[in-house]
Amino acid sequence: MNQFELTSLIKQKALELGFDSVGIARAEFLENEAPRLENWLAKGYHDKMKYMENHFDKRLDPRKLVPGAKSVVVVMHNYYPKEKQPENTYQIAKYAYGEDYHYVLKRKLYQLVDFIREQAGDIAFRVFTDSAPVLEREWARRAGLGWIGKNSLLLQPGKGSFYFIAEIITDLELAYDTPTLFDRCGSCTRCVDACPTQAILPDRQIDASRCISYLTIELRDEILPAEFKSKWNDWIFGCDICQDVCPWNRFSLPHTEPAFDPPPDLLQMTRRDWEELTKPAFKRLFKKSAVMRTGYKGLMRNIGFLRKEK
């Protein structure tokens, strides 16, 4: 079997496993991304996410993550929900409605690896999904899956941005896709204009210290920055504002992955239900959810911050 036949089989299997898109990029040093990452860190846009300062070289070269790596297999998985929370209550980002995507996607990635091994024999590999020093959106662009929008998210033509990204870095040589060179954002600035905290910067970067997602999830301070009072709307875990206003997301279709469906109670919760949420109820509702990342204490901190505004 040649690399073109193997590549075709890998892509077919990825789609069978429920991934919506798959592309493959050559594993190489990300020369153009090095100064961008260095500049972002130098300006302190990562705020208290000090881990972003670690493994600078690994973020730019997958061969330092998997010695001898030749290919980066990039897959994308839709998470746009069939039903959404009502607008008159506290909001969590759509990606956190169901089971934590790290576990769901990694299960599928390992199934894909098992298939590749059946076809190609023993390979060196590692799987990733938003949990390691990998510049995922740039690899998705290089794999021909879309372009990086002004809100820094990967946009797929005719599909939008409500997608998880995951990768297999391997020493297997495959047929590579053509990197995406076009930019279909054009003169549109809806995401920039809609961001209530002005976190979206020029050159498709984010000032995390101003981003609602960062403030509600990553920031561990007991007291939140007072300057953002009245600017959070109703977000208590993550934020979808820049995606919700993006014209490309008019193409969003509901996912077909049962693990990403929310528990029925979540869609019925009123503002009072959230404010009176107990720790046992939190654990029951979010036992498999990415919301566990902020924890009960963090979630109630966020709710308390918004309650003071009412």
**Nearest Cα residue to 125 out of 164, 163, 166:** 166
Known catalytic membership, residue 130: yes
Residue 154's DSSP bridge partners are 148
Q: How far apart are CA 281 and CA 283, in angstroms?
A: 5
Two tokens, residue 104: 């769901």
- Pick the catalytic residue from 20, 47, 122, 130: 130
- Alpha-carbon torsion (211, 240, 274, 87), positive or negative: positive
For residues 215 and 163, give the distance between their C-alpha atoms in angstroms, rounded to a whole number: 22
The one-letter amino acid at 264: P
- Name residue 196's amino acid: P
DSSP per position, 186-237 = TT--HHHHH-TT--EETTTEE-GGG-HHIIIII---SS--GGGTT-STTEEE
Cα–Cα distance, 195 to 210 (Å, whole number): 10
User: Using CA atoms, how far apart are residues 264 and 203, in angstroms rounded to an integer?
Assistant: 40
Q: Which residues are catalytic?
A: 130
